[in-house]
Structure formats: C-alpha cells, structure tokens
Amino acid sequence: MRLYFTLILCFIAGKTMVQAQQWQQVSSLPDTFSKTHHSFAFAIDDVGYIVTGESDAGPRDDFYKYDADTDSWTALPSFPGPARGYAIGDTWNGKAYFGFGYDEESLLNDFWVFDPSDMSWTELASCPCMARVHPAMVAINGKVFMGMGNGSTGNFNDWWEYDIASDTWTQKTNLPSLERHHPYHFGIDNAVYTGFGHGEDIYNNWFRYDIQDQTWTQVASLPAEGRVAGTQFSYNGIGYVLSGDGEDHKSMLTGEFWAYDPEQDNWEELTPHPGSSRWAPASFIIKGEVYLINGTSFDNYVSDVYKYKLKETVTNAPLLSPITIDFYPNPAKDFLNIKVPEHINFEVRIYNLDGSLIANTNEPVIDIKNVSLGVYLLEIKDINTGHKVIKKWIKSN
C-alpha cells in the first residue's frame, strides 16, 4: 500500500520561519557535573548558567557559568539553598527565578532569585501551594506563573501567579485539562503556553493562558506523538519544544525539535538534535543560538552539549496558498518518490541521525538500494524561497 506523508510549506505574509542547517557540538561541562538530568539552565546578558540537578550521587547544588566566546565552563559558588533535582525556573528582566524540586528527603516549594549584577541568590516568599517536582514555570511581564507538576498526592493541574513587585503568590484558574507533571511551557507577549506532559497518559494537547483576561484556551495540539520531560524556550515571538521522552515514556529515535507560531496557531518541525531524544535536558539561548545540555537517553547519561542557530526572517512575500509535497513509500526499500507541484524547484537531502549528508538530488525518484537499513532525515527545500521541511524516513529491507 502506498503511504503518503504530507509536508506543508507555509508562505505567510509578514513572517516566515527559516531553519538552520546543523547542530554543532561545543564543550561539555566538567566531569563532576556532566552527568545530570533535571537541571535548570538559563542565560542573562549572553552568559549561560546551569544550576542543581539530579545525578547518580543524588541531588546537586553545583552552579556553573558558560562563556560562549571561549566555549568554556567555570564553577561558581554553590547554590545556597538545599541541593535538589526536578526543580524549575525562568528569567525575567535580567534575573533568574527558581525553585521547587526534591532534595531526597522532602518535596520543596521554596522560591529564589539570582541577580548576576552581584552574583547573589536571595530567597523569596515560598509558594502557599503543595510542594512539588517538575511543574511548569514561566516568568513574564513582571509575574511568574507556576503550575502542574506532582507531589505527595499525585499530579496537579493548579495554576499560581507570583507578583515580583510585591513578593506574593495568588492562585488562579486551574488548567482546563487533566493533571500532569513535567509539561512544556514558555511565554510570548501577553500569554503563557503550556501542555504535553505525563499524567494518566502522555499528552500532546496544548493551551494558552491569557495573562490579562486570566483565561485558558486550548490551541493546536502538537502534530506528533505526546511527549514529556524535554526542554523549551521562546525566541523572537516563536516558541520551541525540544527533545524529551515519547508517548511510551522512552527515548524517541530522533531528538525532535518543533516550533510553535502563536499568530498562526501551528507547529513546524525543525532539525532534530544529534542522537536519540533526551529525557530532562537543560537549555539556554546565547546570541540567537540554543544550547542543549545533559539529560539521559535510553537510561544513559548524555554529556554532549550542542548548539543550534535559530533563524527568523521577516519578508514582504505575498500570501500564497500552501504547497503540498508528498513522498512515498515510507518505509521504502529500493526507491523513494518525491511529488511536488510542477512550478516548484526543489532539492532533496538525506541525512543520517548523526547529521551526515548521504544523498543530495533534485530528481523526483531517488535510488536508495545502496542505503543501509535504518532511520534517516529527509529534507526537502524550495530553492526559490529557501524554505525547507524535514521528516523522518525509514529504509527497510
């Protein structure tokens, strides 16, 4: 039976997302802190930081900074609160807000702020909520929003607002969906976006919380399997979710990377990071590059650190109808067929999961008889616009 996978090239008046080509490996953390998961990483003024995390030796209180110009890590004084894993944080207005987690004796609900101007950590008002691990947290517009996660009574779907100016917490309307832990989350403009995560199932549904109206709206679900325990961020008005475990709570074959456009309420798949997906990695952005740090994959620690250049261009291109490209079959044994509209000039590239190019052509039929069995990435590019889409493809026998 012929299988079709539809790839949509979206040309939108005003804003077009353009994907970068490759992930680039950079320096790993020192051996003493290279094997962790559930750390909190952040960047302020083009300096990266990573703090705490879980390891085979238990929860950590380590604190490191990263210099992108020299590609080097430097140890800082330890985090002054309890060592912990499964904590969460975010940045706003030049400071990092951080808390919750587990210290191997108790669940935590404390809350801290880091100020890089004097390299100080200050404890703030604790949340008057149930202590918990791996909730969502987004700092935006003078507020910090926190919710979900799990604790002594199970998973949560509650939602809390911390006011930075008054150092106070207020409970808001619950997420209008099932309880869950380790969701994905980011803030854009006047809204918080969150979803996915693990509860009775592993979800791919997605929600927007309007800060001014204090209302929830369900928006476009991820057009892929549910996932949990990855990393996420927003940049130039686009939100990103990266890696994590799939719907069976195991590593996915590729380090899936998706971009969410809130104006269009749609998702676009980007270049996966090298290797299989990671559970509970950390990330930060420096000078438009996202850094993927640590985590585990198929129950093994991954200490390789990679960076990826995020690109977004603004064009005045007219509104055009979506263009559909089909490729089939999938899996394929001898030949792979590319079907595009006649007026499109296209280029096809096939990469292995390490990012190495193994084929490059503009022919509509590709001879793959000599390609080894396995999973590959198929990149189809519109030469005229530079826009490209990337999908997984399987070579079978």
pLDDT, averaged across the chain: 89
Q: Say if CB 90 and CB 125 are below 8 A apart.
A: no
Given this model, what pLDDT does residue 349 score? Answer: 86
Is the backbone of residue 244 left (phi > 0), alpha (psi -120 to 50) or beta? left
Topology annotation, domain 20-310: Neuraminidase (2.120.10)
Listed residue (113, 130, 144, 142) closest to 51, CA to CA? 113
The pair of structure tokens assigned to 12 is 């939108």
Q: Comparing 11 with 164, which gets the higher pLDDT? A: 164
Q: Which of 1-5, 29-33, 57-61 has the lowest mean pLDDT?
A: 1-5
In three-state form (DSSP H/G/I as H, E/B as E, the rest C), the secondary structure along the chain is CCCCEEEEECCCCEEEECCCCCEEEECCCCHHHCCCECCEEEEECCEEEEEEEEECCEEEEEEEEEECCCCEEEECCCCCCCCEECCEEEEECCEEEEEEEECCCCEEEEEEEEECCCCEEEECCCCCCCCCECCEEEEECCEEEEECCEECCEEECCEEEEECCCCEEEEECCCCCCCEECCEEEEECCEEEEECCECCCECCCEEEEECCCCEEEEECCCCCCCCECCEEEEECCEEEEECCECCCCCECCCEEEEEEECCCCEEEEEEEECCCCCECCEEEEECCEEEEECCEECCEECCCEEEEECCEEEECCCCCCCEEEEEECCCECCEEEEECCCCCCEEEEEECCCCCEEEEECCCEEECCCCCCEEEEEEEEECCCCCEEEEEEEECC
Would you state the torsion angle of the CA atoms of residues 98, 230, 390, 395, taken in this order, to the nearest 10 degrees? 160
Q: Per-domain residue ranges for the chain?
A: 5-9+321-395, 20-310
* Average pLDDT rounded to a whole number, residues 171-176: 98
* Average pLDDT rounded to a whole number, residues 40-68: 97
Could you tell me which residues are beta bridge partners of residue 15? 314
Other beta carbons within 10 Å of 194: 27
pLDDT digit string (tens) for 240-255?
999 999 999 999 999 9
Given this model, what pLDDT does residue 21 score? Answer: 52
Given this model, what pLDDT does residue 324 score? Answer: 59
* Res 58 pLDDT > 80: yes
Q: Which of 162-166, 253-257, 386-390 has the lowest mean pLDDT?
A: 386-390
* Res 217 pLDDT > 50: yes
| Right CATH for 5-9+321-395 from 3.30.479.10, 3.40.50.1370, 2.60.40.3080, 1.10.730.10 | 2.60.40.3080
Given this model, what pLDDT does residue 393 score? Answer: 85
Identical fold for domains 5-9+321-395 and 20-310, yes or no, is: no
Given this model, what pLDDT does residue 316 score? Answer: 34
* Average pLDDT rounded to a whole number, residues 263-276: 93
**Where does the pLDDT of residue 296 fall: very low under 50, low under 70, confident under 90, or very high at 90 and above?**
very high
Given this model, what pLDDT does residue 10 score? Answer: 38
* Average pLDDT rounded to a whole number, residues 351-378: 85
* Res 275 pLDDT > 50: yes
**Where does the pLDDT of residue 190 fall: very low under 50, low under 70, confident under 90, or very high at 90 and above?**
very high
Given this model, what pLDDT does residue 313 score? Answer: 38
Listed residue (369, 367, 363, 391) closest to 378, CA to CA? 391
* Res 26 pLDDT > 90: yes
Given this model, what pLDDT does residue 385 score? Answer: 67
Q: Comparing 313 with 254, which gets the higher pLDDT? A: 254
- pTM here is 0.78
**Where does the pLDDT of residue 387 fall: very low under 50, low under 70, confident under 90, or very high at 90 and above?**
low
Q: Which of 125-129, 261-265, 352-356 has the lowest mean pLDDT?
A: 352-356
* Average pLDDT rounded to a whole number, residues 1-7: 35
* Res 388 pLDDT > 90: no
* Res 87 pLDDT > 50: yes
Given this model, what pLDDT does residue 105 score? Answer: 93
